[in-house]
């Protein structure tokens, strides 16, 4: 009887793991009214330290898309710490620190524009080892001045407006 129970537990664990893998193949999942981007396009930068910072950048962008102030603070804090290890990462670290200190999602989004511009410049300078990074642009962001951001997916998910204008924007450039 114990063997049968252990076998059932092992089978349930296996099936759960397999179903989780299938969920990861989707481009995005919606949970509790939040869009969760799944990294379908595997990106690797030529600089490992910048690659780690870029992963935090993606988490920050996703938090802004979801209007999640707390998660944005966590991601920007990690981004700041990672940026401090980069040669010439002071500007990135400074922008990330300001996002962490911001007390409102709108303030975080406004600061995200400067962070994104710096991140775009860094990634262009270093280059990609594999995958594609999309430079996306929303002309309405920043009081109609426009703002760019980076994404691993072609589908536009606007961090400057979140749910209110989720798909506002276009791909301006593809980095390879």
Q: Is residue 94 domain-resident?
A: yes
- 121-153 burial, b at 16+ Cβ within 10 Å, e below that, comes to ebbeebebeeeebbbbbbeebeeeeebbbbbbb
Counting the structural domains of the chain, the total is 1
State the chain's mean pLDDT as an integer.
83
Decide if 93 is inside a domain. Answer: yes
- Would you say residue 2 lies in a domain? no
Q: CA-to-CA distance for 128 and 143, rounded, in angstroms?
A: 32
Q: Is 20 within a domain? A: no
Pick the more confident residue, 122 or 9.
122
Q: Which domain holds residue 117?
A: 42-175
- pTM, two decimal places: 0.78
Give every CB contact of residue 68 below 8 A, 6+ residues apart in sequence.
Answer: 34, 105
Mean pLDDT of the region 122-129: 96
């Amino acid at each position: 009887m114990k063997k049968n129970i252990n076998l059932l537990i092992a089978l349930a664990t296996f099936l759960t793991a397999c179903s989780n893998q299938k969920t990861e193949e989707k481009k995005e999942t919606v949970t509790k009214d939040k869009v969760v981007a799944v990294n379908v396009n595997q990106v690797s930068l030529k600089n490992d330290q910048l690659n780690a910072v870029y992963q935090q950048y993606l988490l920050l962008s996703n938090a802004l898309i979801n209007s999640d102030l707390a998660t944005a603070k966590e991601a920007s804090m990690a981004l700041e710490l990672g940026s401090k290890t980069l040669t010439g990462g002071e500007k990135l670290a400074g922008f990330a620190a300001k996002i962490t200190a911001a007390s409102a999602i709108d303030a975080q989004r406004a600061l995200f524009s400067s962070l994104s511009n710096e991140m775009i410049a860094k990634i262009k300078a270093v280059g990609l080892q594999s995958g594609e990074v999309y430079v996306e642009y929303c002309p309405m962001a920043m009081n109609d001045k426009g703002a760019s951001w980076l994404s691993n997916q072609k589908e536009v998910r606007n961090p400057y407006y979140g749910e209110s204008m989720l798909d506002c924007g276009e791909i301006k450039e593809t980095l390879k």
